[in-house]
Amino acid sequence: MQASEPGDVEKIKLTDKIETSLWDRWEVDAKGLSLRAVMAKIEEQYEGLAVRDVLRGNAPVYFHAIMNAPGKEKEKETTLNTSLATLLGGGPGAGDDEPESYVDLTITCSAKDDPSSTVLEGVPVLRVTLI
């Protein structure tokens, strides 16, 4: 037998200021906030990133490519101005089950200064607190 130390985890550089690893998880308090406010909070907390898509599992909550299609302007504004808890099915009157206190979401981001809006690899899971 031989004792050994584990190696450092691989870091992924998203921007000049933000590095992540597969062990990272971002957290945002979204109590009572609209989807637009949550996206703004992420962009403020993780400067230099622009949120593109928000997914819960495989189900899209907000999908940039669809919402920016011609004729979707009203639906886009409605979705962005709806509370995140309601979009996730945990809003008032959602059912008899206990509301979830947090939800883990998958988000995609691009660099704010990237005109091609290339999706960045390595963005960690986002845990949002709902209540």
Number of compact structural domains in the chain = 1
Q: 41 pLDDT band (50/70/90 cuts)? A: very high
CA neighbor of 61 nearest in space, from 14, 26, 108: 108
Q: Is 120 part of a structural domain of the chain?
A: yes
Q: Is 113 part of a structural domain of the chain?
A: yes
Q: Is 36 part of a structural domain of the chain?
A: yes
Q: Is 79 part of a structural domain of the chain?
A: yes
Residue 61, φ and ψ in degrees, nearest 5: -95, -40
CA neighbor of 54 nearest in space, from 32, 81, 78, 36: 36
Q: Is 109 part of a structural domain of the chain?
A: yes
Rounded CA separation 14/81 (Å):
28
Pairing type for strands 102-111 and 125-129 reads antiparallel
Q: Is 94 part of a structural domain of the chain?
A: no
Average pLDDT value for residue range 115-131 = 93
**Which pTM was predicted?**
0.86
Place of tokens 């037998």: 1
- Provide the CATH number for the domain around residue 62: 3.10.290.60
Give the chain's radius of gyration (CA, Å). Answer: 17
Range of the domain at 114: 30-87+99-129
What are the pLDDT digits (tens) for 63-106? 999 999 999 999 999 999 999 999 998 654 445 566 689 999 99
> How confident is the model at residue 61, as a pLDDT?
96
The separation between CA 74 and the C-alpha centre of its own chain, rounded to angstroms, equals: 22
Q: Is 125 part of a structural domain of the chain?
A: yes
